[in-house]
């Protein structure tokens, strides 16, 4: 099983040749990231904000649900400390396959309750917002990963050089709350293989952009001509 960070909170999760993309960003509203146009077999969206719901950027294969190797469940959680009365709610997605449990926390904005902790507990890998601002403050995000005892923690949704909103913090603000420097693994790739025997760590992936999308990259759809004359010419 692999995960590939496509920027912001967007990941491609692939297992047995089947790819799930979660939280595609709209580059018009997500500073510094290029336009997203990728292929997937299934799409998940945590909430209806522009940095997470760009469905137009994902070309779906049309494969039947029966092909999906994952058991996928979702937990509803507030986007902010006002319990959803300001920014609404987000979904925490849980993907399970062959004994592995991956968790994408969406834009979690409050601490987890007991039922959520129980369901997420023991995650092999947890993708969590590390940029504060629109989600949990960095220290509270770290606490959430402690509560579910996630083995591998992948930060997302943070300020990365010139990418991401200026109000977002850098990933350094998140990882400083982990005591051991040896626990922090900085990768030169945007892709991580997920296995049952992975070393516990914070895995800081490197954003590589469209050049690294490979087979995930999809062609830009041709704009349809809208004037009547063009339509008539096509008919002829």
Q: Which residue range forms the structural domain that includes residue 113?
A: 2-235
Residue 194 has pLDDT above 50, yes or no: yes
- Kindly indicate the confidence band of residue 84, based on its pLDDT and cuts at 50, 70 and 90: very low
Residue 86 has pLDDT above 70, yes or no: no
**High-pLDDT (> 70) share of the chain, %:** 89
Report the predicted TM-score, pTM, of the whole model to 2 decimal places: 0.89
Least confident of 33-42, 52-61, 101-110, 224-233: 224-233
Which CATH number covers residue 224?
3.60.15.10
Q: Where are the alpha helices (DSSP H) in 48-170?
A: 114-120, 138-148
Residue 109 has pLDDT above 70, yes or no: yes
Asked whether the beta carbons of 32 and 23 are under 8 A apart, the reply is no
Query: What domain count does the chain have?
Result: 1
At residue 71, the pLDDT reads 98
Going by C-alpha positions, the residue among 160, 155, 165 that lies closest to residue 133 is: 165
- Which residues, 6+ apart, have CB-to-CB distance to 41 below 8 Å? 18, 19, 20, 60, 61, 63, 67, 68
Asked whether the beta carbons of 47 and 106 are under 8 A apart, the reply is yes
At residue 235, the pLDDT reads 45
Least confident of 3-7, 47-51, 198-202: 47-51
At residue 29, the pLDDT reads 83
CB atoms near residue 206 (< 10 Å)? 13
């Amino acid at each position: 099983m692999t995960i590939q960070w496509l920027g912001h909170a967007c990941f491609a999760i692939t297992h047995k040749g089947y790819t799930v993309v979660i939280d595609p960003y709209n580059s018009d509203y997500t500073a510094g990231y290029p336009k997203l146009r990728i292929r997937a077999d299934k799409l998940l969206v945590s909430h209806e904000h522009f940095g997470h719901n760009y469905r137009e950027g994902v070309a779906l294969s049309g494969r039947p649900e029966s092909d999906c190797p994952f058991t996928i469940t979702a937990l509803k959680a507030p986007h902010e400390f006002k319990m959803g009365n300001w920014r609404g709610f987000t979904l925490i997605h849980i993907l399970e396959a062959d004994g592995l449990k991956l968790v994408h926390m969406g834009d979690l904005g409050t601490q987890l309750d007991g039922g959520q902790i129980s369901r997420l507990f023991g995650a092999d890998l947890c993708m969590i917002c590390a940029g504060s601002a629109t989600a949990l403050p960095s220290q509270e995000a770290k606490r959430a990963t402690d509560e579910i005892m996630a083995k591998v923690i992948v930060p997302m949704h943070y300020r990365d050089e010139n990418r991401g909103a200026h109000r977002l913090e850098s990933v350094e603000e998140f990882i400083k709350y982990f005591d051991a420097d040896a626990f922090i693994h900085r990768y030169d790739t945007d892709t991580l293989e997920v296995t049952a025997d992975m070393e516990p760590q914070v895995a800081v992936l490197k954003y590589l952009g469209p050049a690294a999308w490979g087979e995930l990259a999809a062609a830009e759809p041709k704009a349809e001509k809208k004037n009547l004359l063009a339509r008539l010419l096509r008919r002829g």
